Structures are given as C-alpha cells and as structure tokens.
C-alpha cells in the first residue's frame, strides 16, 4: 500500500544530527547534503510512484523519496549497490540528504531496492511511462521557478552511452541465443531436440568459437541458420508468446535470408546487417553505431540546458535517451514541443548535426530560432555569391517574402509552380553593372526573353541560408553560448569509466543517466547559494564598517557641541555669532 513519507519534516530533538556540535551541524546543513535535501529530496513527487503499489490495505511501502534519492546518489557517486547501502546506513551526510534523523530509522534490506527497480522497469514496459524522467522534469521545473533563471536561450548536445553488455562476435551472439532457447524448452522438447542442440551446449558461446578450425566459420554460420529456421517454424505453436522465442525470431530475420516457405537459410553478409540488429540477449534495445572510428553499442543521450548570459545559475532541464542510431535532429524535433511548453525558449544553440527539414518545420511552428555552430555538408566556395549573401525578409509563417542581393537590388519573392519552390526576378539592366553577375559568380540566371535575371530556390535552401547567416552573426558577436555544454556532458558521464554505465536496458540506462544529471544541478545550485551567501556577508560587513564610522563621527560631533555648550555656561562666552554645522549658540 502506498504511503507518503512526511516524518522527515518534523525534526527530532534527539536525532543523531541534533546531537552534533553547533558548528558541525551548521557545516552539515551548508554542505551538498543540505542542498540535496532542500532542492531534490523535498521536491520528489512520491505520488508518481503510487501506481507501483497495491491499493488494498496492506503493509505501507518503504519511503519512495528515500529509494529514489538513493538511486540518484548511487549513480552520481559511482557506487555499487553495497556501497550505496553502507552509505545509507552509516554516512551522516547521506542520511541527512535523505531526511533521516535517527541511526536505524527507515531501515530496509537491499532487496527492497531491487524490487523497486524491477517495478519501475516493468511499469515502463507495460505503459511506456518513464517514472524517473517524470521525477526529473518535476524537480527541474520547480527549481526553475525557485531561482532567477531565464530560459529563453537553450543549448544542447548529444553523447554516446555504452550499455553494460559484452562485445560478441556474430557466432557468439547466435550461439548464446540458441542456448537460451534450449533453456526455454520444457523437458520433453529438450529431449526431442537434444541432438540438434548438442554442439552448442558444450560450454559457453566463447568456448564454442575457440574450437572452430580455420575455414569453418561460414559452414558453421549456415548450420546455425538452418537450425534457427527449423526452431522458428516448429516452436511457434507452443512458444510464440515467450520472450525468448520472439528474440529467436528477431535474430533469425536479422541474420539470415530464409523464410518459413524456404528450407534454406543463407547468412546475410556483414554489410547487410542493420545497426538496429540485436547486440546482446541481455539488452534488446541497444543498437550499434560507429562514430569517428569508434564502435559503440548502446544508446545516445541528448542534454538540454539553459545558457542565457544574464543567468548566474544554469540548469540542465532535459535528458533524452534513445538507441544510438537515432539522429540528433530527430531528438531536437521531438523535444521542441515540450521545451516550448516548459520554458520560454526562443533560441536553441546546437552543432551541425541538428539540422533537418523536420527541425526547420518544428522550429518555425514553435517560433524557436536555431543557431548552429556549423552546418552539415561541403562549405560553399568563397569565390561565388550564395543565398546566405542575400538579405531576406520572411512572413510570420516562415516563407520568404522579399530579398536584397549583395549589390542592394531589392525585389519581391514569388511562389513557384511546385510546392516549396520560389522565384525572385532581378532587373537585368541593373545587374549589368554587377561584376559577379557578368563573371557567372551569382546564383541568379539570365532569362532569354526578358531583361531579367531569376533566382530559383527551394524552401530548404532558404532555411539553410538563414542558418548560415545566424552562424556568421554568432561568430561576429564573439560569444559561443553552446561551448560550455561540453562540460555538462562530462559532469554526467564522469561517474562511468569510458562512458559505460553499469546497467542494461533503456529504462535502467535512463535512470543511470538522469541521476548524475540531477546531481550536477545540485552542485550548481549549491555553488550558486554559497557565492550568494558570501556576497551577502561581504555586503553586511561593508555596511557594518560604514555604520561604525558613521556612529563615530556622530558621537564626536555631539561631544564637541556639548563641550561648546559647557564653555558658554561656565565662562559666559558669547557664542551668538558662532555656528557649527548650521547650529547656532
């Protein structure tokens, strides 16, 4: 039965933190643990996880915010489960960060964490809801409201995340799949297929390939394909709903050309294998990608953070995790609607991989100006004029309306006959004085029947020209607002050596990436609060000095005036003609 954890809000007079000396307690509150408690733990929406528990009267759940907080700390610090558990039991900072005031309070066994993770994974597999992603967005949205952060400018970058799977050769993968199919069979079917499976059950998949002789690879690959074809056909009636059978069916389709009506099963060549093909029986969603000569098996994470120069505090506000075959532009187009809903984004700073017609359409729809650090494709020749050398005016719908050439001839843009095609006609008599037009270095073309030159272009070419102009403007300004996102990528990946997370499966990998992201925000907020506190202390100290000096001058003046009054009364001096700071005596 789900029950919220409210006990931590009532501070205990006899808790272990209350017994600390005053100085140590103050230091504990001002450490990262105090910031984590205030900015993460208190903001965790426990109700989000109520769907994981029974609605019938039963034993209350272990506090959800403690379980979620432990997951965040585990991946943020790179702990094993045992290290995480020890830290919860004995580390004062960790317990304070999780709202635990007494040693032994909220105690639970480590298997509770395992069961909680299993429920989260099963819930996403069943419903498609990523509960940890919802928690992250809820916490960040509250932080954006709590601190003076402008969200009109955002930057993003992607990075490869390696799943915790072994690198396998093609035959190793196929043999391991066969071994799992054998374990799926009941005793009667295992006896029936004993002879067919026997060559592949003599040890592990790695040991199987050690015994292959030179030249046997192709014949063994074909033999495996024929067995898999037989199993796909014969086991369907009884095992079609089993996950292992579905994996067998998928692997056969990915690696072999045979069908149910074809007894032959020719192996596909390496070039015919898709990057989306199964990389490991332990991670069905991981994919393969080669980038800059490196091989990656796993996922790609796309990070979005604020980058307005006026902000003293920048926060990572969005994390997307997809199979690593997903294009950056696809993730940008997918994220724009939600980013527009959650923030005031007007400008998005990206690199060259985030461009596509779909991105242009989404950016136009949600009124977001994309500024890239580069553009895909060959760099245009500097010896010719290009569309980005022209000045453009567009409509509210993002359609070109007017254009001015580099020689300052301004004309109207006309819609072409085909969809998303445009024409602009320039006066040939004016173009005669243009050196670029006469040398063929202008993108306009001379018409035969009229004294005009025409500029033909597509909507996509127009958008590319606009992107190039925005890049030039950004370079001239001297500000590279996107550059710092590389440090954010590092802060998220540094708990994982070589970018390999210690888990498998998209849901678990997502939890592993979101956790250090939230911790990165905690560190930024902590640093921001510390700097703000130091500034306030300096301000108070400065004012205190001014106050002391002011009081000293006031006391001195009052004393001098008292002395003059005493002299007047004592000696009868005439001070009527004297004054001091406007005071007459």
Exposed / middle / buried, residue 22 (Cβ in 10 Å: 0-12, 13-18, 19+): exposed
Q: Provide the pLDDT for residue 438.
A: 81
Q: Provide the pLDDT for residue 62.
A: 86
Which sign, positive or negative, has the C-alpha torsion 193, 199, 203, 204?
A: negative
Residue 440, pLDDT > 80, answer: yes
Q: Provide the pLDDT for residue 54.
A: 81
What is the spatial distance between Cα 469 and Cα 388, in angstroms, rounded to a whole number?
6
- Per domain, the residue ranges of the chain are 1-129, 170-272, 387-471
Listed range (148-157, 337-346, 571-580) with the worst mean pLDDT: 571-580
Q: How confident is the model at residue 562 (pLDDT cuts 50, 70, 90)?
A: confident
Residue 160, pLDDT > 80, answer: yes
Q: How confident is the model at residue 520 (pLDDT cuts 50, 70, 90)?
A: very high
Q: How confident is the model at residue 11 (pLDDT cuts 50, 70, 90)?
A: low
Q: Provide the pLDDT for residue 377.
A: 63
Q: Which one is predicted more confidently, 364 or 539? A: 364
Query: Contact, 305 vs 317, CB < 8 A?
Result: yes
Percent of the chain with pLDDT over 90: 57
Q: Provide the pLDDT for residue 573.
A: 52
Residue 580, pLDDT > 50, answer: no
Q: Which one is predicted more confidently, 35 or 468? A: 35
Residue 105, C-beta contacts closer than 8 angstroms, at least 6 positions apart: none
Exposed / middle / buried, residue 555 (Cβ in 10 Å: 0-12, 13-18, 19+): exposed
What is the spatial distance between Cα 535 and Cα 541, in angstroms, rounded to a whole number?
10
What is the spatial distance between Cα 162 and Cα 286, in angstroms, rounded to a whole number?
9
Listed range (149-153, 263-267, 547-551) with the worst mean pLDDT: 547-551
pTM, entire model: 0.83
Q: How confident is the model at residue 383 (pLDDT cuts 50, 70, 90)?
A: confident
CB atoms within 10 A of CB 388: 20
The continuous run of DSSP H or E covering 81 comes out as helix 81-90
Residue 476, pLDDT > 90, answer: no
Average pLDDT of span 113-124: 94
Q: Provide the pLDDT for residue 579.
A: 52
Average pLDDT of span 302-325: 95
pLDDT (tens digit per residue) in 252-287: 999 998 655 566 688 998 889 998 999 999 999 999
Q: Provide the pLDDT for residue 227.
A: 93
């Amino acid at each position: 039965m789900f029950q919220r954890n409210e006990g931590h809000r009532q501070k205990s007079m006899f808790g272990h933190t209350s017994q600390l000396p005053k100085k140590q307690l103050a230091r504990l509150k001002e450490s990262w643990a105090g910031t984590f408690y205030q900015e993460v733990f208190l903001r965790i929406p426990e109700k989000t996880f109520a769907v994981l528990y029974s609605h019938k009267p039963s034993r209350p759940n272990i506090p959800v915010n403690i379980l979620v907080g432990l997951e965040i700390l585990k991946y943020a610090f790179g702990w094993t489960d045992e290290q995480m558990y020890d830290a919860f039991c004995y580390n004062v900072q960790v317990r304070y960060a999780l709202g635990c005031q007494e040693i032994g309070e909220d105690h639970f066994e480590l298997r509770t964490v395992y069961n909680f993770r299993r429920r989260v994974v099963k819930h996403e597999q069943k419903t498609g809801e990523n509960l940890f992603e919802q928690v992250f967005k809820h916490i960040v949205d509250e932080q954006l409201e709590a601190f003076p952060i402008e969200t009109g400018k955002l930057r993003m970058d992607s990075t490869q995340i390696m799943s915790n799977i072994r690198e396998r050769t093609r035959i190793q993968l196929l043999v391991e799949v066969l071994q799992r199919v054998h374990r799926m069979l009941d005793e009667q079917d295992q006896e029936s297929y004993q002879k067919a499976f026997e060559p592949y059950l003599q040890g592990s998949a790695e040991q199987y390939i050690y015994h292959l002789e030179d030249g046997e690879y192709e014949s063994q690959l074909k033999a495996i394909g024929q067995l898999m074809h037989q199993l796909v056909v014969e086991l369907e009636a009884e095992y079609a709903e089993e996950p292992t059978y579905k994996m067998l069916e998928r692997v056969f389709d990915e690696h072999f050309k045979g069908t149910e009506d074809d007894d032959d099963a020719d192996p596909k060549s390496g070039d015919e294998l898709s990057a989306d093909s199964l990389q490991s029986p332990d991670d069905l969603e991981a994919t393969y990608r080669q980038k800059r000569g490196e091989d990656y098996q796993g996922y790609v994470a796309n990070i979005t953070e604020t980058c307005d120069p006026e902000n003293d505090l920048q926060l990572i506000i969005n994390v997307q995790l997809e199979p690593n075959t997903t294009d950056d532009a696809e993730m940008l187009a997918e994220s724009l609607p939600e980013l527009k809903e959650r923030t005031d984004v007007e400008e998005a700073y990206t690199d060259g991989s985030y461009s596509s017609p779909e991105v242009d359409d989404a950016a136009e729809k949600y009124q977001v100006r994309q500024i890239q650090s580069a553009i895909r494709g060959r760099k245009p020749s500097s010896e010719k004029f290009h569309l980005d050398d022209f000045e453009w005016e567009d409509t509210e719908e993002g359609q070109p309306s007017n254009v001015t050439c580099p020689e300052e001839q301004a004309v109207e843009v006309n819609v072409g006959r085909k969809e998303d095609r445009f024409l602009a006609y320039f006066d040939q008599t004016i173009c005669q004085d243009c050196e670029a037009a006469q040398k063929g270095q202008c993108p306009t073309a001379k018409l035969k029947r009229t004294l005009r030159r025409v500029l033909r272009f597509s909507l996509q070419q127009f958008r590319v020209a606009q992107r190039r102009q925005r890049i030039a403007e950004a370079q001239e300004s001297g500000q590279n607002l996107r550059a710092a996102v590389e440090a954010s990528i590092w802060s998220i990946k540094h708990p994982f050596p070589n970018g390999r997370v210690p888990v498998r499966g998209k849901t678990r990998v997502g939890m592993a990436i979101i956790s250090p992201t939230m911790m990165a925000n905690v560190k930024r907020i902590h640093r921001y609060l510390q700097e703000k506190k130091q500034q306030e202390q300096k301000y108070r100290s400065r004012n205190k000095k001014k106050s002391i000096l002011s009081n000293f001058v006031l006391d001195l003046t009052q004393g001098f005036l008292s002395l003059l009054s005493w002299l007047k009364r004592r000696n009868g001096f005439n001070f009527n003609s004297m004054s001091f700071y406007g005071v007459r005596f």
